[in-house]
Structure 1
Amino acid sequence: MLERLNQAMEHIESHLDQPLDVAGLARIATTSEYHFRRMFSALAGLPLSEYVRRRRLTVAGAEVLAGERTLLDIATRYGYGSGEAFARAFRAVHGVGPGEARRTGAALRSQQRMSFRLIVEGTSNMRYR
């Protein structure tokens, strides 16, 4: 199950510049959309949509700092309908607007890529009184 969930995470990473396809992710994880969202939220500690939003803004932040594309190009690439909507979301995550970040080379916040592992603890016996 974890292998399938990690395949879904890889799919998210390779499609950050496209609309989120929860049905496709659920198919990859071999579960329903409802259970995929619940499982993700329980394991990750945040909703799937919030994780994807933060990852998109992390990658967009790197592109803003690189300065190779216009801010509007970056905004539309990551699904924002306007530069203003992108600037609001960018500021909410990074604490600074994209224009200011580009001008000053500000340090930005980052949502790291997630992957899931299973760690089993407590398998050894203990003596007690």
Structure 2
Amino acid sequence: MNEIKELTKAEEQIMHELWEMDGAFVKEVIDRLPEPKPAYNTVSTIVRILETKGFLVHESYGKSHRYIPKITKEEYKKLITGKLLNNYFDNSASSMLSYFLEENKLDLGEVNELLEMIAKQKKI
């Protein structure tokens, strides 16, 4: 896969389940989704779209298919955070961090964790 594309909300929900289970049949994915559960055909269509987009591969078991993530959650996280950083914070991690601080999205414990990470990076 050359370029990872962004997922729709529905595709992302399905991918999170497949990442968590490290692959599954459509019925297993549906079993894990919250109520109201989508129709089998809806999830099956989304899974086939994900396969076409290069996010999944499948193993055949007779007429059934088990879908397996082709990219990791970490790879996708890197893409999404990179786009967020580039598109909304002018590629500035400090701008993004200050936004989260100003919006009270970080509690004191998280701020202390970040300070510890920064201190460790300075020592390296």
Q: Please give the TM-score of this superposition, normalised by the length of structure 2.
A: 0.36
Looking at both structures, which has the greater relative contact order when contacts are Cα pairs under 8 Å and sequence separation is at least 6?
1
Q: Please give the TM-score of this superposition, normalised by the length of structure 1.
A: 0.35
